[in-house]
């Protein structure tokens, strides 16, 4: 019986990536070093390794523009007072509290993710420039002596709200990758499951997540009131 010997030395590239991130090295240098280590471990000729890296760069050359342009636009808006305008806007709403604002964002984020609109939101393009400053502004209206500890708690809950809304909302979307993966695994085991049926079963979980996190945000308002007092 013939047995194929698997070369495991190319997995050294994974070790290089782990070591690079542990040492907080530059991500680009870490990835390039991992590519070279993997290529040499797989006994690839230098010419073929360089050609592979060049082809991969050409295929993804537009990706940095897609990622960097929104960040540059957000930075330009922040320089011209985006945070200040957001805080001033929420300060005009007397009934707004930090918890109520984040509950509203949680509902919007979860519903948008349920329809596959996962790009509506996110930490760099929504939480940091808009949601967190608005939440802090709502706290400053009610409690003028907002401490840095309170601000850190507000920012952390704003980021957590975005995570919860996205994570449990996208499970309802029928074309979500996790649902397709589960259907493929179940089909391999001889179980035919409708993706729509699987997505519908994500609705009770999303509702429970919304209720639980809303309760946490309600407790955030009580924490802010106690800390300010």
Average model confidence (pLDDT) for the chain?
A: 82
pLDDT at residue 29 in the model: 85
71 token code pair: 């960040």
Per-residue pLDDT band for 123 (boundaries 50, 70, 90) equals confident
Is residue 15 classed as helix, strand or coil in its secondary structure?
helix
pLDDT digits (tens, 9 = 90+) for 202-213: 889 999 999 999
Model confidence, pTM: 0.67
pLDDT digits (tens, 9 = 90+) for 79-110: 766 667 766 777 677 778 899 999 999 999 99
Mean pLDDT of 218-228: 90
Per-residue pLDDT band for 157 (boundaries 50, 70, 90) equals very high
Mean pLDDT of 156-173: 91
Classify burial at 119, counting beta carbons within 10 Å of its beta carbon; exposed 0-12, middle 13-18, buried 19 or more: exposed
141 token code pair: 């209206």
pLDDT at residue 63 in the model: 59
Q: Tokens 């704003």 appear where?
A: 158
pLDDT at residue 130 in the model: 84
pLDDT at residue 190 in the model: 80
Long-range CB contact pairs, 122-126, < 8 A, 24+: 122/162, 123/159, 123/162, 124/70, 124/71, 124/74, 125/70, 125/71, 125/74, 126/162
Evaluate if residue 60 carries a pLDDT over 70: no
Per-residue pLDDT band for 214 (boundaries 50, 70, 90) equals very high
For 28-32, 42-46, 53-57, 222-226, which range has the lowest pLDDT when averaged over its residues?
53-57
pLDDT digits (tens, 9 = 90+) for 184-198: 777 777 888 887 888
Evaluate if residue 218 carries a pLDDT over 80: yes
Q: What is the widest separation between alpha-carbon atoms in the chain?
A: 78
Collect all residues with Cβ–Cβ distance below 8 Å to 4 and sequence separation of at least 6.
Answer: none
Q: Tokens 């590239």 appear where?
A: 13
- Contact indicator for 220, 99 with CB cutoff of 8 Å: yes
């Amino acid at each position: 019986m013939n047995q194929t010997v698997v070369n495991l030395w190319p997995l050294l590239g994974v070790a290089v990536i782990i070591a690079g991130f542990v040492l907080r090295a530059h991500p680009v240098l870490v990835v390039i070093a991992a590519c070279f280590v993997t290529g040499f471990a797989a006994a690839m000729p230098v010419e073929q390794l360089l050609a592979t890296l060049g082809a991969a760069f050409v295929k993804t050359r537009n990706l940095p523009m897609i990622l960097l342009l929104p960040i540059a636009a957000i930075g330009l808006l922040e320089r011209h007072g985006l945070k200040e305008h957001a805080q001033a806007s929420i300060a005009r709403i007397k009934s707004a509290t930090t918890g109520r604002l984040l509950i509203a964002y949680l509902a919007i984020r979860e519903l948008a993710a349920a329809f596959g609109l996962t790009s509506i939101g996110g930490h760099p393009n929504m939480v940091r420039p808009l949601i967190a400053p608005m939440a802090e502004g709502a706290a400053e209206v009610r409690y003028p002596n907002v401490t840095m500890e309170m601000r850190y708690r507000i920012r952390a809950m704003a980021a957590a709200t975005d995570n919860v809304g996205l994570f449990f909302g996208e499970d309802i979307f029928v074309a979500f990758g996790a649902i397709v993966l589960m259907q493929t695994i179940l089909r391999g085991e001889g179980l035919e499951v409708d993706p729509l049926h699987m997505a519908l079963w994500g609705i009770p979980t999303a509702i429970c997540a919304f209720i639980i996190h809303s309760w946490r945000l309600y407790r955030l308002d009580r924490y802010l009131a106690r800390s300010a007092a």
